[in-house]
Amino acid sequence: MFKASLSNATLFKDAMSTISNLINEGTFKINREGIELIAMDPSNVSMIIFKFLSNVFDDYQLDKDTKMTINVDQLVQILRRAGATDRVIFELEEDKNRFIVRMKGSSNRTFSVPLIQEELKEQSVPSLDFKNQIQVETSIVREGVIDANMVSHCVVFEATPEKFVMHAKGDNNDSTLELVKGSPALHVLDVSEPVKAKYSLDYLDKITKAAKIADVLTIKFGTDYPLQMEYKALDKLQMTFILAPRVETE
């Protein structure tokens, strides 16, 4: 049995909305610590690692660890129907093969999402060796991605001990976002040696829509190496994305 409620579901809704940009279906693990998800997008280019802590809920009842596989987009469409003052209640009815979402406010509404058969292959987080860390305001990176998307389909991330740069180049124009050490928006620049890699803007556009979830974004990458972007709302949730690099071939 699993049942939980939120007096304000905005954070959960925003997180699910971001996840739905990358995957159609997801298997969520529900345990005492909260709700977790590890999933690859259908093209196996990006991975999502998501944790929504149980203490965020006003009420959280669970008799044993369990899993549920659902259509994430369906869940998002339902959550968007919740009013600002609605209390949202979640209940897993395994015997009826469905996930229930109730909204209590000026009226009482009930929605159900059918459970889907779980994929046989369980995803695991890859072991990555990052030698640098950058912490920057999420809104800045989001703007950099939007700028780059105007001129190209990919963007180059560069970092040195002195600066962090996002650069995109099109046929006739380009865009550059540069943050130098000491900039108020650049909270941490822990880079021992220059690194450079290219990433898909299609994926970054979807990933950086999580900017509303947290004020600060932690970025880790290496030369022609995967990119890791972590959004964290203290004592509430953690959402990490891993994105494969675009490696040019001769």
| pLDDT number for residue 22 | 96
| Per-domain boundaries in the chain | 2-114, 132-243
Is 2-114 a domain of CATH 3.30.413.10?
no
pLDDT at residue 70 above 90? Answer: yes
Architecture of domain 132-243: Box (3.70)
Residues 137 and 121: their CA atoms lie apart, in Å, by 36
Phi and psi for 176 in degrees, rounded to 5?
A: -140, 130
Which helix (H) or strand (E) element contains residue 77?
helix 72-79
Residues 77 and 203: their CA atoms lie apart, in Å, by 21
Fold match between domain 2-114 and domain 132-243? yes
pLDDT digits (tens, 9 = 90+) for 164-215: 999 999 888 999 999 999 999 999 999 999 999 999 999 999 999 999 999 9
pTM: 0.94
